[in-house]
Structure formats: C-alpha cells, structure tokens
Chains A and B, each alone.
Chain A
Amino acid sequence: MRFSALKVFTQGLSGNKGWTPHWRDPEPKAEYDIILIGGGGHGLATAYYLAKNHGMKNIAVLEKGYIGGGNVGRNTTIVRANYFLPGNSEFYSHSLKLWEGLSSDLNYNVMFSQRGLINLFHSDGQRDAFARRGNAMVNQGDDAVLLDPDGVRKHLPYLDFDNGRFPIFGGLYHPRGGTARHDAVAWGYARGADQRGVDLIQNCEVTGIDIENGAVRGVQTSRGPIRAKKVAMVAAGRSGQVAAMAGMRLPVESHVLQAFVTEGLKPCIDHVVSFGMGHFYISQSDKGGLVFGGDLDFYASYGQRGNLPMKEHVMEAAMTLMPMIGKARVVRSWGGIMDMTPDGSPVIDTTDTDGLFVNCGWCYGGFKAVPASGYAYAHLIATGQPHETATGFRLDRFRTGVGLIDEEGTGSQHNLH
C-alpha cells in the first residue's frame, strides 16, 4: 500500500478499516543469499539498500526481539553532520543528505525536522575549536554558522548567559541538523525492505554462526538452522556476543547511556541544544516532552538503565544551562547499550572469514548514521568493496594505529570517549 494524503483522507471517511500490516511475518526459509543479524535501524537500512540499490532479493533480517525494540527506539533522535575529521565528515554528510530525502524515498513520514542544532561554547579556546570545526563542515559542503552571544540569544533567549562557571561565548549553529521520529525510521525501513522481498524475522535469536574452511555457511537460530552465502553482523551493543559466535573478539566495550523525558509542555525549545561542557543536550519532541541526555555512566554495562550519579549530573547540567527547566517534571528515564570503540568511531568492514561482515562501534552516535550506514554496509556486502563514504571505518586501524578516527582528540583507548 502506498501512503498519500488522499489515502489518509479516504481512510478517514471509511473508519480507517482499510489499513494493512506494514510488513509480513514470514517463516524463515532454509536458505538465503544474505542474512543480517540484527533488525535495528542499521540492519533494516542495510536490507533496504541491498534490495533497492543492488537488486538483491533473497535476504533475511533476523531480530531476536521485535522491530524497533532496541537502540533505534531508545535514542534521543538527533540528526547532524557536524564532524571534523576526514573519514567521518564525508560519511555523516552523506547521511544527512539521505535523511533529507528519506520520507519521500521510503514513502513513510519519518518526521525529519531540520530545526537546527546549536553547540554552545564557553571560552576563547573553545570558540577557536568550533570555528575550525565549522570551517571543516563548510568545506565538506554542509552548513555551519558561528554565532556570537547575541546571535545565540536570538535563538535561545532562555539560557543562563552569564553563568559564573560557563558563561556563553557563542555557539556553532548547524541549521540542517535536527531530529526525526526514531520509531518511524525503523518502521519505514522495515516496510520498504519488506516490500522489496526482504524477510523480516522477529523473535529469532541467532545462537551460532556456522563457519567451514574459513567461509561462512549459515547460522543457528532459536527457530532452527538457516543456511546463507553471506552473513552480516549488525548488532550494536550486543556485537561482542554475536562476534564471539564467529570466534572473533572486537575492539568494543558496551556501556550504558541514559536519556530522560519530561511531561509534555507547550513549545519552548525550538532547536537541538548541545552543552558540551556539561555533557548535556536537549530537544523538544513533537509530543511536547523535553528529551535530554548526558554522558555515559562510564562502566561496562548491558543494563538498559543507569545509576543515580549520572542522573544527578544531567539534572545539574540542565539547571546550569537553562534554569527554567526546573519547573518541568521528568516522567521517564532509560538507558541504551552503546558499542564503544577505542577511538570513538565505528567499523564497517569485512572479516577474516569469507562472507562474514561486521558493522559495529557506533558509540553514542548511531541514530543519525542509520541511512548512510545501511547504504555503505549494503555496498560492502554486495560488492566486497567499501563505499566511498565509508573507507575509513576499518577494523584493523586499532592494531596498526593507521587511520584512527579520534574525533574528540582524547586518544585511542577504551573509556576515553
């Protein structure tokens, strides 16, 4: 079924009885050309682009839970292309372009809202660093505007500009950044992949990866063995467990990142605001809730919830930045499992096993990367060659030390990002 305004109108007149499920619920076949392990945003996007860009048909996405139940439904929905380093810049730039055409490409409203993102700075040194970053963004062909305090005040009058510890010196404004409806992204890609013949198999946990003579042969699952010519891992926070089934250890440590939402309020925060010095960022959802978060809890964790110290830290940062937020009530908090790499950048690569591919290490930046990651991973799986926007995301950069992408400049070591 193709969605349109006319369809919504006619369905409304006929009691909305004509809507059908957005995707099938197929039984797994005995064999596929390609199996994707993980039905999150990245896995679904990969399946979609394998079918759309490379004409592949015989594909299964195996999801141990349900579509939209993992990190793709647990993030804070921010989309941006404000990276500095080659390797990241071209990739996130590509992703933003895909976001801009996504709703029409998928025929599914992902509610992409380019409300603009502002990164605040609080010292001369930080201003210089952001000016440099803004120039890198402009060189990449994206947009960046350096704002002075009055410029920030025009957009964000509610901030505490004269804060004793973090006075606001200005901000780097990225007008094309914004937010999207995270569930719709999962559903839109799922529906698009399904319509192109991809089998989305939910409640199907992979329990083993079959490898013979250095080549992948298929997987064992909670719903029986499935043969496959190619197997692509894309399991985010659970990447370590999936890779272990193939005898691999990854340069990944899984950490918990918390997020929070307040009760629904009238529109008051029109942008995405990032207060890096306080490890705090915020936006307002279309439903009215203020959605915000902070830094990692900073210990290895698979608990999809965090501890109190980081909650307090986030609330304190919020009060420091925008005292008005003290009147809002937090109604919910949760955690997502972040696959953290030593240099803070991801991996999209082949492995030592023929036909086995790896996509992991998205740290806390996976959501905005969904379209470009799927696009590049599909290209790698179909052609064996990295896509031109993702040539830097190699697995061996940690061993060799060549091509590390340390965006924060803190070093390539666990627990620094």
Chain B
Amino acid sequence: MRITCPYCGTRDIREFAYRGAAIDANRPAPDAGAAAWDDFVHLRDNPAGETQDLWYHEGGCSAWVMVTRNTVTHEVLECRAVKP
C-alpha cells in the first residue's frame, strides 16, 4: 500500500502511523453522555469495502491524512490533508 501525502507526494506506508477510523471529526461534546462516547470510542461500522481512516505522516512532514481506501482490495482511492 502506498499513501499520497498531500505535501510530500506518494510514499510507502512505512512512513505512516495508523490512527484508525476517521471518526475524530465527529467527536462528541464532553457532556454528550455514555452512549455517545461509547459510540465514538468503541463502536465501529467496520466496513468490508470503502472506508475512511486517518494516517499520520510520522516519517515525513507530520501531516494528518484522511485516506479513502478499500479494506478488501487494499486499493487507496483518495488522500487529503486534515487538521490535527
């Protein structure tokens, strides 16, 4: 798998650290309640097919990259920069 860093170009996945499902954009409010936080921290759609996850360009420019890819074929479809 190769991931395209929006700043550095296409790089080997060795340069990236995997954060997990791209859920951080939907972080619940601190007082949203146990169910909302359980949903956010633990529960996952875990799709077989297209998914979005976050990768950190640890061995490069330290950018956070949201990667759209296929979990069955390992095909990387889209990479874009996101704020930390």
Interface residues of A (CB under 8 A from B): 238, 240-241, 244, 249-254, 298-303, 307, 309, 342, 398-400, 413-415
Give CA–CA (A251, B43) in the complex, Å.
4
Given contacts A301-B71, A303-B72, A415-B20, are A240 and B45 in contact (CB under 8 A)? Answer: yes
Complex CA gap A333/B37 in Å reads 39
Say whether A300 contacts B51, CB under 8 Å. Answer: yes
B-to-A contact residues, CB < 8 Å: 1, 12-14, 18-21, 34-35, 38-39, 41-48, 51, 53, 71-74
Whether B39 pairs with A249 at a CB distance below 8 angstroms is: yes
A303 to chain B, nearest CB (A): 5
Secondary structure call for the B interface: mixed
State whether A398 touches B42 (Cβ < 8 A).
yes
Chain A contact residues: helix, strand, loop or mixed: mixed
Contact between chains at B44 and A303 (CB < 8 Å): no
For B44, give its contact among A250, A299, A307, A309 (CB under 8 Å): A250
Contact (Cβ within 8 A) B72 A253: no
Q: What A residues does B53 contact at CB under 8 A?
A: 299-300
Give Cα distance in the complex from A249 to B47, angstroms.
11
Whether B43 pairs with A303 at a CB distance below 8 angstroms is no
Do the beta carbons of B13 and A240 come within 8 Å of each other? no
Closest to A313 in B: B14
Q: Known contacts being A250-B46, A398-B42, A399-B34, is A415 close to B18, with CB within 8 Å?
A: yes
A398-B38, A399-B34, A415-B19 known; A303 and B46 CB under 8 Å?
A: no
In the bound complex, what is the Cα–Cα distance between A342 and B20 (angstroms)?
Answer: 12
* Complex interface: chain A residues within 8 A of B39 (CB): 249
Q: Which residue of A lies closest to B47 (CB)?
A: A240
Whole-angstrom CA separation of A371 from B40 in the bound complex:
33
Contacts of A240 on B, CB cut-off 8 Å? Answer: 44-48
| A342 proximity list for chain B (CB < 8 A) | 41-42
Measured CB to CB, the closest approach of chain A to B23, in angstroms, equals 10
* Cβ-defined contact, B74 with A251, below 8 A: no
Bound complex: CA A399 to CA B53 (Å): 23
Q: For the complex formed, measure the closest distance between the CB of B13 and the CB atoms of chain A, giving whole angstroms.
A: 6
